[in-house]
Amino acid sequence: MEKRIFRFSAASTEIHFGSGISHLRKIADPKFTVLITDENVYHAHTRRFRGWNTIVLKAGEAYKVQATVDAVVETLIEMEADRKTILVGVGGGVITDITGYVASVYMRGLRFGFIPTSILAMVDAAVGGKNGIDVGEYKNMVGTIRQPAFILYDMTVLNSLPQVEWENGFAEIIKHACIKDAAMFNALEANTLKYYRSKRRAIEELVQRNVLIKAKVVQKDEFEKGDRRLLNFGHTLGHALETQYELLHGQAISIGMTFACHLSAKQCGFTQNQRVVNVLEKYNLPAYASFNKQKVFDILKMDKKRERKEMNYVLLEKIGKGMVKTISMNDLQKKLLLW
């Protein structure tokens, strides 16, 4: 088992690769710990939850809302949870987001950690400290930035992860490759999802590489004044699509990445669009879709990267090198409507 410690402004995160709930006993006393999970994860791994206080939530993005936070807070009060209680989110991105958020606000803050169970949560949602909930049509509209005390990686949980969830997670891996890691992009081009699904060592290495990319970016710019913005590649359009259509996060940001490549070609001479589209399609992600552009633009306007009449858009200079460029909302609207 390998351990890495990342220090952030107000806390450190211990990242344990090759561990899981069995290791949790070494760092958290079951008497003072509450696990938060969803029905799918609980049913797939019931045995692992034995002996732990557990709150089981309904599964899905539709439940990443204030009503769920209220219900969890009420349950914690019934359980007499206090400031010494540790919350542990065991699940995908919805569970890590809700757990981090509840832990940030309950009694003004509890220690918390994660055991991510999906590729997406492993490489993205569990890392970085952003947490929160959706409000109506707006994704992640309310939340805080607060770092988990620990993240435990147990790759055996992937044995029960459905194919579509593998694809969903690979969208974030492709995103990291596009903005930061040309060599990883080449490896993704050369390999297949089937290869990563069947070779335990390959997926372990790929997950670790992505965790390190993300943790290093966040460490340098925890509060998103600069480089951290790059992690939003594909997300401006992606989030707007995700709330308007029945798309998984990875599918929505995949279309968002294709549009960002198109903008990159127009704004900064990017010439490798087709390679990005090919990799997305190779991992069974949609690169294009027809959608109501005006309706989606009306949601996109509320993106957190907008500053008055301009949007800070994440573009690519070349594969492996992301950049942020300001684009006027008028220009952005025109380019989206004409895409």
Which candidate in 64, 131, 139, 172 is catalytic?
172
The residue with its CB nearest to ligand GLY is 128
Contact at 8 Å (CB) between 52 and 32? Answer: no
224 is catalytic: yes
Position 129 contacts ligand GLY (CB under 6 A): yes
Which candidate in 31, 47, 50, 108 is catalytic?
108
d(CA 302, CA 220): 26
Q: Give the residue with the Cβ less far from ligand GLY, 20 or 93.
A: 93
Q: Which of 81, 125, 184, 230 binds ligand GLY (CB under 6 A)?
A: 125
The answer to whether the Cα torsion of 134, 288, 255, 208 is positive or negative is positive
Position 128 contacts ligand GLY (CB under 6 A): yes
Q: Which residue has the tokens 């034995």?
A: 50
317 is catalytic: no
Nearest distance, CB of residue 129 and ligand GLY, angstroms: 5
Position 262 contacts ligand GLY (CB under 6 A): no
Question: Tokens representing 96?
Answer: 């890590």
Contact at 8 Å (CB) between 231 and 260? Answer: no
Q: CA 255 → CA 34, 163, 228, 242, 333, distances in Å?
A: 37, 19, 21, 10, 16
23 is catalytic: no
Position 235 contacts ligand GLY (CB under 6 A): no
78 is catalytic: no
Contact at 8 Å (CB) between 143 and 158? Answer: no
130 is catalytic: yes
Q: Give the residue with the Cβ less far from ligand GLY, 193 or 256.
A: 256
Task: Determine the size of the site formed for ligand GLY (CB under 6 A).
Answer: 5
d(CA 191, CA 188): 5
Residues lying near ligand GLY in the complex (CB under 6 A) are found at: 125, 128-131
Q: Which residues are catalytic?
A: 108, 130, 172, 214, 224, 228, 232, 235, 239, 249
